Structure 1
Amino acid sequence: MISEKQSFNRNLIVGILLAASFVTLLNQTLIIIAIPPIMNDFQIDPSQAQWLTTAFMLTNGILIPVTAFLIERFSSKHLLIAALSVFSIGTLIGAIAPSFSYLLVARIVQGMGAGIMMPLMQTVILTLFPPEKRGSAMGMVGLVTGFAPAIGPTLAGLLIVQFSWRSLFYTVLPVALIVLVLAFFLMKNVTQQKQVKIDIASVIFSTLGWGGLLYGFSIAGTAGWTSAQTLGAIGVGVVALAIFITRQLKLTQPMLEFRVFNSPMFLITTILSVFVFAIMVGTQTLLPIFAQDVADFTALESGLMLLPGALIMGFMSPITGKVFDKFGGKWLSVIGFSLITMALILYANLSLNASLIWIATIFTIMMIGVSMMMMPLMTAGINALPPHLIPHGTAMNNTIRMVGGSIGTATLISVMSYASLNTSLQQPKQAAMEGIQNAFMLASVLAVLGILLAFKLKSKKQ
């Protein structure tokens, strides 16, 4: 293993993987600002438009378990080239999409590529660095990948004001192709291959399980929480997921190793990661809708609104990584969730005439809290696992986080839509405002649960 690590340039490999991840994260944050103009172009409501975010994350969630198999079966280089190629095809489809259906397909194809890239990057980096240096390594990952969410909303605002939302896809495409060329010529294989087989039944039940749950939570806002369609979809998801989990526990080579949850630390950090991710993505989806459709800000202004918080998160990541390596994740998580809770309560009490600076200040407070947990929580969970379970732990963490984040975001949008449709207020903007306030109040309850659970973490790493 040592001789293998000496046969390639570790920094070069990490650089290529970070560049690939940067492209996918830039793509995700660009779309957040584009949702209101896309709603106007295709004449769709927020419940439909949020699928551009949730379908991308759900596809990630479905593909990530398969990625654990792919990482063991194929070389790092071939996987990265395949992922970037699929992502580029999806980006091209999005640029020329003639209808919302085509745009949704584009996001799903992009999600397939991104679903392979992110866990591949994390697995390789966690393999290259020893446990005592992983916090700092993942902190640097947070710094680089934090740059994409920082510039994404502002760049999207500029492009939408000058051109249209389609220009976002045309901007991402050449960057993805450049990284693809670099990967083809410079990427090396750094993982060990095994002769493992994919279980098709597991893929089917996994897709039905995660997909059924997300679809049910997504349509609840418009179809009603007690409708046959909503309950049926959630029911199918629960049953399929139960079959999937039971099957994984019986297989000698499971697609997703649920025994990683035998580690209490991994279980707690994964749950907390879901809370953080759901709150972050849900907030980033709600705020542009509020800014552009309720408060009448421009796309550029709503992008600038998210810029300070995203920059702070990126710059804080290396610092929190070093703090984690020294003290562990307990107090980072307690303080982080406390800041998030405060920000969400402030958002739940926003008024129609709230200033852009005030909204941006609250978002910055929230992102300081998020930066204290995003990378440290995952690192703490992975450090609690033996080396042979790292690919499965990474895949599990990403799967649960993505799917949980998707369901959390869909639930917040459903709450917003349901409250807006069933309010006694007559003015559309006031009705939308009440829906958004309800969604933020639900998110604050989730953050309080996060504070309570964070006290279960160890105060320093062992």
Structure 2
Amino acid sequence: MGTHTQVKYPKAMAAILMLGTFIGLFGETALNMALSNIMEQYSISAPIAQWLTTGYLLVLAILVPISALLMKWFSTRQLVLGGLIISLLGAVLAALSINYPILLAGRIVQAIGTGLLIPVMLSVMLIIFPIQKRGVVMGIMGLVITLGPALGPTLSGIIISTLSWPYIFWFSAMFYVLLVVSATATIENVSEITKPKIDIPSILLSTIGFGGLIFALSTMAEEAFSSTKVLVPLFVGIIALILFGVRQMKMAQPMINLRVFKFPMFTLGTLTMFLGILIILSSGILLPMYLKGALLFSAAVAGLILLPGNAVNFIMSPIVGALFDKVGARRFGIIGFIIVVIGNLTFVMTLSSQTPGWQVVVAFMILFFGLTMVMMPAQTNAMNQLPRELYSDGSAAMNTLNQVAGAAGTAIAITLFTSGQNSYAMEYPDATQQEILAAGIKYAFYFTTGISVVGLIGSFFVKKPTEVQTNKKSQAAA
């Protein structure tokens, strides 16, 4: 597995990277609570406003695969400071926006900064901490990855109700300034700069591939699946990704080394993370809409209803991290996904326009109790199977798919929500707007239930990387 690199302030480095990533991921969903306010202020429709979230995820999905290359060209210090400064500029631009295009531009600039920070964080954590401390470190990091998008609606709900939505960006900007100052003093260079040849066709294929895929998924919320607006970018995206994959396998120095997927536990762990992020971001966009639109709670109350679920995540993540070496990814995965299935089924069975708020609180707590047991163990188990020289490639591959999962989860959730509303309105023409909205949300939760069942099946195949490698050696010997 290779030894770790000694640095002067490992904990300070970890804290700066995690906080920078947390603010960026918080930004993914922070505007979900404010979409109705922004639509009113700038006179735009829901599908156009939706691009404030989708555009952010789109940039992350395009930029994260390129990050593996950037980490071999620029020092850790350059990437971290660059990521934080770009994020700061994006937050200030969005806070000062006088119209929708400037707000969207600010979001995109902030996403570029976050896209630099996420892969660097994962790679650096694996380099500066020894393997016996990784469980705890990855536990806290898993908390950052899940808590950022999950806390977005809660914190922004309170900010919107007490101040106004631009303050979401002002608070982010304030934290970025503090992090830039801290990073200047503590971040050391730990990555190896090899300056591989930049392959322009790979960058273009990756950008067209992931961009086309997410654009198609996002457009499905407004257009029929059979429309050219959906099918053309979907088809172009899939072809570009296939060509990208073929090209990477043939190159001596690929942009992302797809050979990481030859490690079975890495592949399975990445799939588990993908499904977990799908569920987190689907529920992250559906529940604020349900609480505000169907149950008619204010943004602040809706945010507070989601708080206990986030608190469970906050309390459980370090515990799961500390117990990881004893319990293992397999047991955590199976128990966790069983609880996630129960949480989703609770939503499916209880959601209506009359549901008491406490039932939403309980279901959301159950959901996050299970997700916390799933996410970090899956990620740690996946990365532990890779040799050190593949960390940056594994990190880039995993994080790219996480961003695709986020964009796909958001897009599919909105699409199913819209189609669920339409079919309910046709079946019950006298239904109130609240009943129609609740029916649409409930319909979308059938999708997250199905995904959690797939995750549960996958968790039965998880092994410890050491077991996998021992099995391979014994097969080779035989």
Same fold (TM over 0.5): yes
> C-alpha separation between the residues in 1 aligned to 2:11 and 2:158?
33
Structure 1 pair 66–161 and aligned structure 2 pair: CA distance change class (3 A) = same
What is residue 166 of structure 2 aligned with on the other side? 166
Give the CA deviation at 1:101: 2.9
What is residue 353 of structure 2 aligned with on the other side? 352
Give the CA deviation at 1:51: 2.5
> C-alpha separation between the residues in 2 aligned to 1:303 and 1:380?
33
What is residue 136 of structure 2 aligned with on the other side? 136
Structure 1 pair 150–219 and aligned structure 2 pair: CA distance change class (3 A) = closer
> C-alpha separation between the residues in 2 aligned to 1:90 and 1:451?
39
Give the CA deviation at 1:22: 2.9
Amino acid at match of 1:208: I
Contact kept? 1:36, 1:292, Cα under 8 Å: no
Identify which range, 202-211 or 147-156, moves more after superposition: 147-156
What is residue 384 of structure 2 aligned with on the other side? 383
Structure 1 residue 367 corresponds to structure 2 residue 368: yes
Contact kept? 1:60, 1:111, Cα under 8 Å: yes
Structure 1 residue 452 corresponds to structure 2 residue 477: no
**1:91-145: CA deviation from partner (whole Å, max 9, x where unpaired):** 1121122333332222221111101111111110111123333122211334566
Identify which range, 276-285 or 417-426, moves more after superposition: 417-426
Contact kept? 1:150, 1:314, Cα under 8 Å: no
SS at match of 1:236: helix
Identify which range, 81-90 or 158-167, moves more after superposition: 158-167
> C-alpha separation between the residues in 2 aligned to 1:217 and 1:261?
25
> C-alpha separation between the residues in 1 aligned to 2:266 and 2:348?
32
Give the CA deviation at 1:44: 3.9
SS at match of 1:198: coil
Contact kept? 2:88, 2:177, Cα under 8 Å: yes
Amino acid at match of 1:79: L
> C-alpha separation between the residues in 1 aligned to 2:270 and 2:3?
33
What is residue 15 of structure 1 aligned with on the other side? 15
**1:158-188: CA deviation from partner (whole Å, max 9, x where unpaired):** 2211222111111111111111122123321
SS at match of 1:456: coil
> C-alpha separation between the residues in 1 aligned to 2:382 and 2:150?
26
> C-alpha separation between the residues in 2 aligned to 1:438 and 1:146?
24
**Aligned counterparts, 1:145-160, within 5 A:** 148=148, 152-160=152-160
Give the CA deviation at 1:270: 0.9
> C-alpha separation between the residues in 2 aligned to 1:182 and 1:229?
46
Q: CA RMSD in A?
A: 2.1
> C-alpha separation between the residues in 2 aligned to 1:98 and 1:310?
33
**1:42-81: CA deviation from partner (whole Å, max 9, x where unpaired):** 3444433332222222211211111111112211111111
> C-alpha separation between the residues in 2 aligned to 1:73 and 1:20?
21
Contact kept? 1:124, 1:190, Cα under 8 Å: yes
What is residue 475 of structure 2 aligned with on the other side? none
- Percent identical: 33
SS at match of 2:304: helix
Contact kept? 1:87, 1:109, Cα under 8 Å: yes
Structure 1 residue 294 corresponds to structure 2 residue 299: no
**Aligned counterparts, 1:181-192, within 5 A:** 181-192=181-192
What is residue 428 of structure 1 aligned with on the other side? 433
Identify which range, 421-430 or 69-78, moves more after superposition: 421-430
> C-alpha separation between the residues in 2 aligned to 1:140 and 1:233?
37
Contact kept? 2:154, 2:303, Cα under 8 Å: yes
**TM-score normalised to the size of structure 2?**
0.91
Give the CA deviation at 1:151: 5.6
Structure 1 pair 276–143 and aligned structure 2 pair: CA distance change class (3 A) = closer
Unmatched segments (≥5 aa) in structure 2: 468-478
> C-alpha separation between the residues in 2 aligned to 1:276 and 1:297?
27
Contact kept? 2:64, 2:115, Cα under 8 Å: yes
> C-alpha separation between the residues in 1 aligned to 2:76 and 2:189?
5
**TM-score normalised to the size of structure 1?**
0.94
Structure 1 pair 9–156 and aligned structure 2 pair: CA distance change class (3 A) = same
Structure 1 pair 214–25 and aligned structure 2 pair: CA distance change class (3 A) = closer
Give the CA deviation at 1:417: 1.6
What is residue 124 of structure 1 aligned with on the other side? 124
> C-alpha separation between the residues in 2 aligned to 1:87 and 1:433?
36
What is residue 337 of structure 2 aligned with on the other side? 337
Unmatched segments (≥5 aa) in structure 1: none
Give the CA deviation at 1:146: 6.3
Amino acid at match of 2:170: Y
SS at match of 1:164: coil
Structure 1 pair 232–447 and aligned structure 2 pair: CA distance change class (3 A) = same
> C-alpha separation between the residues in 1 aligned to 2:144 and 2:414?
29
SS at match of 1:222: coil
> C-alpha separation between the residues in 2 aligned to 1:145 and 1:4?
23
Contact kept? 1:326, 1:460, Cα under 8 Å: no
